Amino acid sequence: MNYPHEYLPIRQVGLRDLYKDSEPMIQNMWSEDLALLHLAGRYSDGNNIQRVFVNPSQGMDRASRANCTLTGDFDSLIGFTRDLPLKMPLSIYPVPLFSETLTRPVHVPAPLWAARQDGTLHAPHKIANLCIGKFEQRSQVRIMFPHHTNFSGTLELSQNDLQALYEDGILPAVHEVAPAYASDWPCTYAAALILARDKNNHIHKKSCDLPEASLSNFAQAVRSNLAHNPRLKEPFFMIELRGTKGAYAFDPDDPDDLEFHFNLFVERLNFSIALEDAPEEAANWYCDIGLEVSRQ
């Protein structure tokens, strides 16, 4: 049989053995042999060809807590809420881009109150959704529609859905809770589409800002405005807060340091609003924590 399925003697090596085999190839500039070893897992001792597997831990001394340093870091936070508990303005897209729809698993469950009519509870990426805004540079807010697939049988939202979301849900909410900002918003979804398209008919993200003080009332107004739309009713929000590598690093052995950096990480969120009437909603917030192990 031909590569990569040929029958060959198998040899498992550790990193030290791999370096030992590679060193003469590097010194003698045997580039083809080096490429075969590292890229194809093939090694020739001059007589026979072997199939090489690398086990990075083979031959290594077992690490112990005494000679390792642990560093924690807050990578991201995902929360499901019927409010918008932000401590900063939110930039909202009148024309959301389908390319930013959540389509991959985020490995956390949707909240129990997002169950569909048949009682089933699907993963967040299996619920019709749109990214409707961002705050800071990399953090996002998505709006989720748990009832949508009860009627359409698909996760895909139509242009009619987007028009209803904007003209029946978002725009009236802006006029209600932040009338001073209403003049900045397109008067219809069709007008928003025209403003978002360039001369090549490509759609770009155009956003309108809402101040922090209006966000909670805005969220409630949008939910109320869509209450009679069978496809879009009872929406909720998914907030994704993204950290910056190393910006919130903490010592896992120091509870005070952990608490300090966590509070620093989530200072953009107002949990007093998110949990004011329902402390149990804290179960719908998930923090992704990285742990780096470095050996001295």
Give the model confidence (pLDDT) of 152-180 as tens digits. Answer: 556 789 999 999 999 999 999 999 999 99
Q: Is the pLDDT of residue 80 over 90?
A: yes
Q: From 238, 239, 252, 255, select the one nearest 290 (Cα to Cα).
A: 252
pLDDT at res. 221: 97
Contact 170, 143 (CB under 8 A): no
Share of the chain above pLDDT 90, in %: 50
Q: Encoding tokens for residue 275? A: 């949990």
pLDDT at res. 175: 96
Of 4-8, 180-184, 205-209, 276-280, the one with minimum mean pLDDT is: 276-280
Contact 178, 214 (CB under 8 A): yes
| Mean pLDDT for all residues in the chain | 87
Share of the chain above pLDDT 70, in %: 95
Peptide bond into 4 cis (omega under 30): yes
pLDDT at res. 154: 65
**pLDDT tens-digit readout, 217-253:** 999 999 999 999 999 999 999 999 988 888 899 999 9
Q: Encoding tokens for residue 2? A: 């031909």
Q: From 252, 286, 288, 270, select the one nearest 68 (Cα to Cα).
A: 252
Contact 177, 169 (CB under 8 A): no
pLDDT at res. 96: 92
Give the model's confidence band at 65: pLDDT under 50 very low, under 70 low, under 90 confident, else very high. Answer: confident
Q: Is the pLDDT of residue 120 over 70?
A: yes
Q: Which pTM value belongs to this model?
A: 0.77
Higher-scoring residue by pLDDT: 199, 241: 241
Choose the most confident range, by mean pLDDT, from 55-64, 149-158, 195-204. Answer: 195-204
**pLDDT tens-digit readout, 257-292:** 999 999 999 998 988 777 776 777 788 999 999 998
Whose tokens are 């003049």? That residue is 183
Q: Is the pLDDT of residue 81 over 70?
A: yes
pLDDT at res. 1: 61
Higher-scoring residue by pLDDT: 62, 222: 222
**Distance, CA of 215 to CA of 242 (rounded, Å):** 20
pLDDT at res. 238: 96
